[in-house]
Amino acid sequence: MKKILFVLSLVLILLAGCQPKTNETALSSTEAVGAGESAAQARPTAVSQAEAATPTAPPTETPMPTPEPTLPPPTPTLSPEALAGSITDLVGTWKGRWSDTTSIYQEFTEDGTYRVFFPNGDEISSGRFSFEGGQIRYESVKGAAADRCVQNPSAIYEVYVTKRGDQSVKLRFVLASEENCVDRKDFLDGKTHTRVEP
């Protein structure tokens, strides 16, 4: 019987040695982390074994809606050239050429006044005009214009307008009467002037 007790005691001691210790003293936080890392590297955990046994699909991303591209508003096309319909087709500042190198501006207002000036603002001439049936009539001239222009200011030009949407963008002048002011004729007759944006 002593022999059986001895064998049983030995078996109990061996079994007790295989069991984890439940009343082990607490480790410091750095020791616990280090111990945890080495233990994880030494043997796989139950979770990692389960993951290895059952492969999982990678998470799928929820597709985000693609925003529709915002297109700029269409630029209105140029209208075909037509005879000007009203004084409002002429109102504004227009750039023309007096020679190949000299730009000159002409400004028309709704009250029937005009002025002609250089790009630096120096005025060449000014006066009054009227508009009817697609024609502009220059009625007076004052300023630095030639004497023959001041003495015989009257001249009539047909005015053709090109528009973009509702806005006039080009004016073309065609002499429709006698013209005593040679400089004005050189500046206007058969020439196209473009709108100057403010």
Work out the widest C-alpha separation in the chain, in whole angstroms. 153
**Pairing between β-strand 113-117 and β-strand 103-108 as defined by DSSP bridges:** antiparallel
- For residue 99, give every residue at least 6 positions away whose Cβ sits within 8 Å of its Cβ, in sequence order, or none: 186
Lowest mean pLDDT among 63-67, 90-94, 129-133, 171-175: 63-67
The tokens of 167 are what?
A: 């806005």
Q: What pLDDT is stored for residue 36 in this prediction?
A: 47
What does the pLDDT look like over 70-129, one tens digit per residue? Answer: 777 777 788 899 999 999 999 999 999 877 778 999 999 999 999 999 999 999 999 999
CATH class in words for 82-195: mainly beta
Taking CA atoms, 119 is separated from 44, 106, 146, in Å, by: 86, 10, 20
Domain layout of the chain by residue ranges: 82-195
